[in-house]
Chain A
Amino acid sequence: EDQVTQSPEALRLQEGESSSLNCSYTVSGLRGLFWYRQDPGKGPEFLFTLYSAGEEKEKERLKATLTKKESFLHITAPKPEDSATYLCAVLPVGDDKIIFGKGTRLHILP
């Protein structure tokens, strides 16, 4: 069965303390992997799409990387405004439905 697992469920960091969020996936083939940011009470905001192992994408303090089994969202020197839930999702080969992970709640303390 296709699955997406995110870890940790929640993460508290001090401002400036870099870390990584993990998204591991089990699919027969990958068409694309997506990262979203979601603020409380709002819809998810699209961040990145990764298509193949070795690919990297960057946006401000965020960098997403992809291997054959997992993706990492690296956050460098985070600020309190980076606090949000980060969702990972995959689109398997031969499917038209994206599978979402349950997210990592990130809290950056000032």
Chain B
Amino acid sequence: DVKVTQSSRYLVKRTGEKVFLECVQDMDHENMFWYRQDPGLGLRLIYFSYDVKMKEKGDIPEGYSVSREKKERFSLILESASTNQTSMYLCASSDRDKYEQYFGPGTRLTVT
């Protein structure tokens, strides 16, 4: 079974803190994705990566950066957390030739 894990289920941070969210997949997938999910807005793509050290902006990259130093690991970084970044963050991975994405359990981030 595909397994995508995320470093925390719940996280509470203060405004201005630097926040790291980590995602690890064990299926040797080339593609990895970071989304945020908010009520009424659905899933929105923040960043994605096709390969190690490669990254592409999604629909809402402002205020975020990413890092992919190893194939199995994709990190999302909030350089200076703000209250409007309070959300559920979801990581996903997919095979290069099959497009279905497999999601992690999510991190509920609260910025106060």
Which residues of chain A have a CB within 8 Å of any CB of chain B?
31-32, 34, 36, 41-46, 49, 87, 91, 96-98, 100-103
Are B43 and A46 in contact (CB-based, < 8 A)?
no
Distance in angstroms between the alpha carbons of A100 and B45 in the assembled complex: 10
Q: How far is the CA of A101 from the CA of B58 in the complex (A)?
A: 16
Interface size class of B (residues with CB under 8 A): 20 to 34
Q: Give Cα A43 to B41, complex, Å.
A: 16
Interface string of B50-64 (1 = CB under 8 A from A): 100000101100000
Give B1-12 as 1s and 0s: 1 = Cβ < 8 Å from A's Cβ atoms.
000100000000
Partner of B101, one of A31, A42, A98, A101: A98
Interface status of B34 (Cβ within 8 A of chain A): no
Contacts A42-B105, A42-B106 given; does A101 touch B42 at CB 8 Å? yes
- In the bound assembly, the distance between CA atoms of A45 and B50 in angstroms comes to 21
Closest to B44 in A: A100
Contact of A103 among B4, B42, B104, B108 (CB under 8 A): B42
A44 CA to B42 CA in the complex, in Å? 12
Q: How far is the CB of A107 from chain B (nearest CB, A)?
A: 16
| Complex Cα–Cα for A21 and B62 (A) | 34
B36: shortest Cβ distance to chain A, in Å? 12
Using Cβ atoms and an 8 Å threshold, which residues of chain B touch A34?
Answer: 99-101
Does any Cβ of A come within 8 Å of B74's Cβ?
Answer: no
Known: A97-B48, A97-B58. A41 touches B99 (CB 8 A): no
